[in-house]
Structure formats: structure tokens, C-alpha cells
Structure 1
Amino acid sequence: MNLEIMRCTRCGSKFFPARYFCPSCGGDEWTPRVAESGTVLESTVVRHRAGEQQAHVVHLATVQTNEGPIVIARLDAAVPDRTSVLLEIDDTHRIVARAL
């Protein structure tokens, strides 16, 4: 599934997630845009989550999308900052980034 960024039809501002009204101009009409790729701004790893008995490593990244907005995405493995990634939504509705 594609990651959709919403573009205000009145002023052109882009947002993720979707909003009811544009905070820039107050517009309420949106055009969806697909964010296919992005650049890792920074990343981290979560080694333990509350309530889990076994350690399950999760790699996360802050990604600047090619459409502009910044999103938090899961990674398959650690990647260096400034890595180019492909973006998609997985079957459980999470944003996933894969290094190019």
C-alpha cells in the first residue's frame, strides 16, 4: 500500500497525517499525493518494550518524505543517517522504510 500525504488545494501545504482543516490557510479540500521515497534524518533501535518477556529489536527512523512531511517508519535493519529509502504501508498499517 502507498503512503499518502495530503496537499491542501487552496495553499499547497502538505501534511501527514490527514487533517480536517489546513493549519496554514483554513482550507478543507485535499489532494492525496503518494510519498514513495524519502531520506533518513536519524534512526534509533528499541530493544525492549513494556509487557514483552522476550527482547524484540525494532529499528525506527525519522524520514523526510519526497513530498515534504516527516514521518516515523520501521526499518528492516539499522541504516546510517541520510540513507535513501522506499516508503510503503505494510499489512498491519505501519509505515515501513527499505533502503534503496
Structure 2
Amino acid sequence: MELTVFRCTQCGTTLFPARYLCPHCGADQWAATPAGPGTVEETTVVRHRVGAQGAGDAHLASVRTAAGPVVVARLDQALQPGDIVTLALDDAMRVLAHPHAGA
């Protein structure tokens, strides 16, 4: 499922996740917008996860979406800052980042 971000219909502020009210203008109307591809800004590796012993490392990244907001996403492989990724949601509604096919 494609990742969606939310644009305030009054002032144009784009956020993720959705909010009840826009923090910039106070409006409560949002338009869902595709996040588009993103650029990896920072990465980290979680090596020890409580309740997930033996599950391997979890690679995470802060990704700036083409629409503007930064999201934290799980990676299927180690990536570097500056890499272009495609963002999606899995069945558990976790944000996933995959290397962009055109990169």
C-alpha cells in the first residue's frame, strides 16, 4: 500500500502522521496526498530488540518524502544517506522503504 501524507487544505502545510488540527493555521480539513519517493537522511541499526531475540538487525531510516514530511521507515537492507527510496505501508501499517527502481 502506498504511503499517504496529509496536506492542510487551508494553508498547505503537509504532515505525517495525520493530526486533528493543523499546527500552523488551526484548520481541521486535510487532503490525502501520495508521499512520493523519498531521500534517506539518516540511518541506524537496532541490534538488540526486546522480545525479538535471534530476529536479526533492524535497519531504520529517517526519510524526507517528496511531499515534504520526514518519516521513520524500516529498511529491507542497509542504505546510505542520500539514497532514493520508495515508501509503502505493510499489512501492520508500518512504514517501509525500498530502494527506488529508478535510482
Classify the TM-score, shorter chain: over 0.9
How many residue pairs match? The answer is: 100
Unaligned runs of 5+ in 2: none
Aligned to 1:2: 2
Q: Structure 1: which 4+ aligned runs deviate by more than 6 Å?
A: none
TM-score by length of 1: 0.95
Letter in 2 for 1:36: G
Aligned to 2:75: 75
Task: Give the CA deviation at 1:45.
Answer: 0.7
TM-score by length of 2: 0.92
1:4-38 per-position Cα deviation (integer Å, ceiling 9, x unaligned): 11100000000100000001000011111011210
1:13-72 per-position Cα deviation (integer Å, ceiling 9, x unaligned): 001000000010000111110112100001011111123332521100000000000000
Any idea what SS the aligned residue of 2:22 has? coil
Aligned to 2:88: 88
Aligned to 1:66: 66
Aligned to 1:31: 31
Q: Distance in 2 between matches of 1:89 and 1:38?
A: 14
Q: Tell me, yes or no, if the aligned pair for 1:37 and 1:87 is still in contact at 8 Å.
A: yes
Task: Give the CA deviation at 1:92.
Answer: 1.6
Q: Tell me, yes or no, if the aligned pair for 1:36 and 1:88 is still in contact at 8 Å.
A: no
Unaligned runs of 5+ in 1: none
Task: Give the CA deviation at 1:91.
Answer: 1.4
**Percent identity, aligned pairs only?**
51
Q: What is the RMSD computed on CA atoms of the aligned residues?
A: 1.0
